[in-house]
Structure 1
């Protein structure tokens, strides 16, 4: 499954969600956005689940690699 990686740790918090939504919108069906973040992106997960019809919430995964590094996969249907 092709994936696009986006590291948002250096992006100001107020700019993160728009960049993430734009990157997700650019994906083709069956691709995934791999997000590297400094905290667990649970609010983003709920936002995507509620607002983005093509988000595959069942395929979402998140892994904490260190105290300030979370890697989440947002698949697109």
Structure 2
């Protein structure tokens, strides 16, 4: 079995109003059991709450780096949203 590295989604260069759409599109396209690493310039905690409201029990959230300048979070898809 070969593991594919997680896709990196760096939203730091995206304009703020398009960031969540890009992140949700990426999440929606994930096959079950896979994930991506979100790179952001601030703590994406509001995104966590939005995912929890829209896709409860369908994702994992693991901080890999917690600022102060860069946050990296691995977001995984574990069930159908």
Please indicate the TM-score interval, normalised by the length of the shorter structure: 0.7 to 0.9
TM-score, structure 1 length as denominator?
0.85
The structure with the largest alpha-carbon Rg is: 2
Mapped to 2, the partners of 1:42 and 1:31 lie a distance apart of 21
Larger helix proportion, structure 1 or 2? Answer: 1
Q: Structure 1: where are the runs of 5+ without partners?
A: none
- Structure-2 residue corresponding to 1:35: 38
Between the two proteins, the alignment pairs up a number of residues equal to: 74
- What is aligned with 2:75? 74
TM-score by length of 2: 0.81
Q: Provide the aligned C-alpha RMSD in A.
A: 1.6
Runs ≥4 residues deviating over 4 A: none
